[in-house]
């Protein structure tokens, strides 16, 4: 499944963690994600009702994934509502990671987080179709929301993005190699590892530019 947009959303939301500790509405959060340096969403695309729903679903999907991550690490409890999204510092680390739970434990765990968690964490609910259809939908969604026409970005932007991610401009770009360089570059500059927000935003933007140049698979 093409989860590139979900990955970008999660990474962007991690950078916005200080904002989440203050509290923000879904509307204002999407507004932030529409603006540089994130530029994940396109204003015109959001005028379409279906695209607006897809935006809401994917933002909540990423938020619920972070809710689990922060709950298990003891970083806080992420309350998720359309009117206010707030990270509270009032929780202890969970003893059993979600990925190590059996089906019953996982279901109970999700219900304890939020009754809507299991719905938003299942990407099949984005559109009641097969996994392949959901992957295609995410791919189309990413390309539209990125505001990119199908094809490659201009040479200057692509070369700059390659420099940021330490990619050889002459190499044939693949999704796997792009993801690997992106994760490596982001780990080096992430604020949680001693980097800074500006550098992390540059890495995310570079990934977005190069991702748009890949052919649909």
pLDDT at 80 over 50: yes
pLDDT at 189 over 50: yes
> Could you give the CA distance from residue 91 to residue 74 in angstroms, rounded to a whole number?
6
pLDDT at 74 over 50: yes
Same domain, 158 and 111: no
Same domain, 61 and 21: yes
Domain that holds residue 172: 149-217
Confidence of residue 6 (pLDDT cuts 50, 70, 90): confident
Same domain, 34 and 83: yes
- Helix 175-189 vs helix 197-213: crossing angle, to nearest 10: 170
Same domain, 134 and 212: no
> Could you give the CA distance from residue 11 to residue 66 in angstroms, rounded to a whole number?
10
- Taking only the tens place, the pLDDT of each residue in 44-59 is 667 766 777 788 889 9
Same domain, 201 and 113: no
Looking at 147, 167, 190, the residue that finishes a domain is 147
Looking at 147, 175, 206, the residue that finishes a domain is 147
Same domain, 99 and 159: no
Same domain, 123 and 25: yes
SS (H, E, C) 164-207: HCCCCCCCCCCHHHHHHHHHHHHHHHCHHHCCCHHHHHHHHHHH
214 or 32, higher pLDDT: 32
Lowest mean pLDDT among 34-38, 39-43, 89-93, 107-111: 107-111
pLDDT (average), residues 190-214: 83
Looking at 147, 174, 190, the residue that finishes a domain is 147
127 or 181, higher pLDDT: 181
Q: How many domains does the chain have?
A: 2
Lowest mean pLDDT among 56-65, 75-84, 136-145: 136-145
Looking up residue 210, the CATH number of its domain turns out to be: 1.10.287.110
Same domain, 125 and 175: no
Same domain, 41 and 125: yes
Same domain, 129 and 170: no
> Could you give the CA distance from residue 165 to residue 168 in angstroms, rounded to a whole number?
9
Same domain, 81 and 154: no
Confidence of residue 145 (pLDDT cuts 50, 70, 90): low
Same domain, 65 and 3: yes
pLDDT at 205 over 70: yes
């Amino acid at each position: 499944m093409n989860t590139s947009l979900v990955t970008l959303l999660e990474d962007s939301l991690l950078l916005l963690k200080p904002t989440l500790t203050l509290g923000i509405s879904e509307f204002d959060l999407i507004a932030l994600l529409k603006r540089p340096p994130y530029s994940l969403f396109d204003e015109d695309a959001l005028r379409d009702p279906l695209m607006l729903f897809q935006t809401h679903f994917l933002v909540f999907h990423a938020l619920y994934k972070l809710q689990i991550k922060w709950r298990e690490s003891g970083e806080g409890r992420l309350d998720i509502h359309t009117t206010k999204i707030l990270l509270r510092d009032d929780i202890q680390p969970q003893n059993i990671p979600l990925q190590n739970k059996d089906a019953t434990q996982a279901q109970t765990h999700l219900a304890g987080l939020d009754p809507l968690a299991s719905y938003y964490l299942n990407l099949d609910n984005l559109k009641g179709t097969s996994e392949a259809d959901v992957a295609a939908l995410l791919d189309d969604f990413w390309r539209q929301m990125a505001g990119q026409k199908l094809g490659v970005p201009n040479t200057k932007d692509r070369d700059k993005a390659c420099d940021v991610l330490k990619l050889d401009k002459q190499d044939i770009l693949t999704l796997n190699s792009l993801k690997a360089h992106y994760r490596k570059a982001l780990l080096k500059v992430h604020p949680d590892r001693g980097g800074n927000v500006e550098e992390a935003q540059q890495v995310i933007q570079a990934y977005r530019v190069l991702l748009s140049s890949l052919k649909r698979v």
